[in-house]
Structure 1
């Protein structure tokens, strides 16, 4: 099969499932992943033949795309903060708003010149603690998650990115205290209510880990309350707690955190939604 035929196959088989621009995006991501060819290479070499083995890989990817499996799970990796991260169905696919949260933390603390102690709660792929460990010089970063499978991926990503992060298993809702004192605590906890599922795409609903996504409608801020309660005791004076938050519950989250004596600041993402909260210990 020629690569031009493969391109046509993608267009025909995925038509109606995705917009044409997204179909071509999938195609070019996979050709770079499986063939090491970029868009310009394909334009210059449309008649290049692909092997039977390569064709089998693309057919498998097509079948998975038809089931709306995220392209990141198909390739097994994604990019976050300019770095490569391995992902599978045990971890959430890192989102752009999480990059914005990381950027906020870095911009607040990069020029302080102090050795920071940072704790990340609910590591997933490890994208937050690994990025902070790489960007904030001399920071001592630790992180935990309830999922053993997620921790395996996070540890592999730390090794892949040559980042020094201490990972361990812990259920935050059962924790009575956080071991040690920290300058920064950050968390992107589960915050999607059951009632919001109707707004979500099939690729998220069917494939991403429910444990990392959803909370009960009647107790949507359970993780924020628990983390704020523990953080107020474990943060150093003037220490900061950073959250990624549910845009529909921004004011409720802010009010909840203020009950623990924090000074709070909400921040909008690039789409104008309040998706981040910073709480400073007084």
Structure 2
């Protein structure tokens, strides 16, 4: 069907949309894409679509929907197409300079939130550092939950910091951003932190075949991959920094490679951390570590 020069009602266009993407995605996922795009471009919720199937799309709406459909046919992530995604109850801008936040990372944030909420310092101006912040989703989510906290976020990428800065403004929180390379041994931080958290690159090159093509072809490899010869380089550098810059009762949190749980625990313990807990995610993969001084 040529949808470029004709006008269609929503019912007809939806049928064409589902047909065009059939075989590339599961049917329910295609329906979800259509609903997400309709909410953004047509201003219609899923319930409203059902009541507006006879409404004709305008030329501008057709162009927006067609462009998005073509991008989906090229396996571009829906989050990049829409330019935003939801994480831990908030909306974040995303683009190809930052990773798309994952549900597993929400679990990590929830672990930290529950620990801090139940801790003795809950009413104190604690300091939190997020290393490799990307979109800023971890730092910003914690800043929203703990408005009294002083939250800092570090990333090597200037473009990522620009995205995270915009997300902090969108979500009305104050974050101190630091552009730095955590692998640089000359890094010196001025503060002691009560909580340091990181979701660093951890996918080994040998695991590339496990990554879906829409991720592999679109998301920043700098934030995804590590060399097979030294897959824990970021964990070693961050743990070393944490051993110097955590308070006496400070806690270190990591999202980790599911295949390297024991190795990451052993690494953290070598730096003198105790009470190291390895936790599985909702998919029963080893995914998170908490370590105390």
TM-score between the two structures when normalised by the length of structure 2: 0.94
In structure 2, the partner of 1:272 is 284
Correspondence for 1:90 among 88, 94, 97: 97
SS of equivalent residue, structure 1 residue 189: coil
Aligned to 2:3: none
Offset at 1:51? 0.4
Q: Distance in 2 between matches of 1:198 and 1:249?
A: 17
2:40 is matched with 33
SS at match of 1:172: coil
- Quote the offset at 1:114 in angstroms: 2.3
1:218 corresponds in structure 2 to: 229
Which residue in the other structure is 2:198 paired with?
A: 187
Instruction: Show CA shifts across 1:233-272 (max 9, x none).
Output: 1100010010000010000000011000101111111111
Which of the numbers 177, 186, 189 marks the counterpart of 1:178? 189
Matched, 1:242 2:243: no
Partners of 1:63 and 1:55 in 2: how far apart?
Answer: 12
Q: CA deviation at 1:40?
A: 1.1
Within 5 A, what are the aligned runs for 1:53-92? 53-92=60-99
Counterparts of 2:97 and 2:165, CA distance in 1? 13
What is the CA–CA distance in structure 1 between the aligned matches of 2:177 and 2:147, rounded to whole Å? 19
State the SS of the aligned residue for 1:275.
Answer: strand
> Which residue is 1:3 aligned to?
10
Following superposition, the deviation at residue 110 of structure 1 comes to 1.4
Residue by residue over 1:71-97, the C-alpha shift from the partner in whole angstroms, topping out at 9 and shown as x without a partner, is 000000000111010000000000001
Distance 1:137 1:58 in 2: 39
Question: Per-residue CA shift, 1:128-166, capped at 9, x if unaligned?
Answer: 000111102310001110001000000000000001111
CA–CA distance in structure 2, aligned partners of residues 223 and 209 of structure 1: 16
SS at match of 2:53: coil
| Partners of 2:70 and 2:189 in 1: CA distance | 45
**Cα offset, 1:179, TM superposition:** 2.9
For residues 91-141 of structure 1, the C-alpha deviation after alignment (integer angstroms, 9 at most, x for no partner) is 000000111101110100114332211111011000000011110231000
SS in 1 for 2:159: helix
Distance in 2, matches of 1:6 and 1:173, equals: 51
Matching residue of 2:57: 50
* Number of residues of Structure 1 aligned to a counterpart in Structure 2: 281
Identify unmatched segments of 5+ residues in structure 1.
none
User: What CA deviation, in whole Å up to 9, does each residue of 1:185-234 have, x standing for no partner?
Assistant: 00000000011111111110000000000000111000000000111011
Residue 276 of structure 1 deviates from its aligned partner by 0.4
1:161 aligns with 2:171: yes
CA distance in 1, matches of 2:124, 2:286: 29
Matched residue SS, 1:138: coil
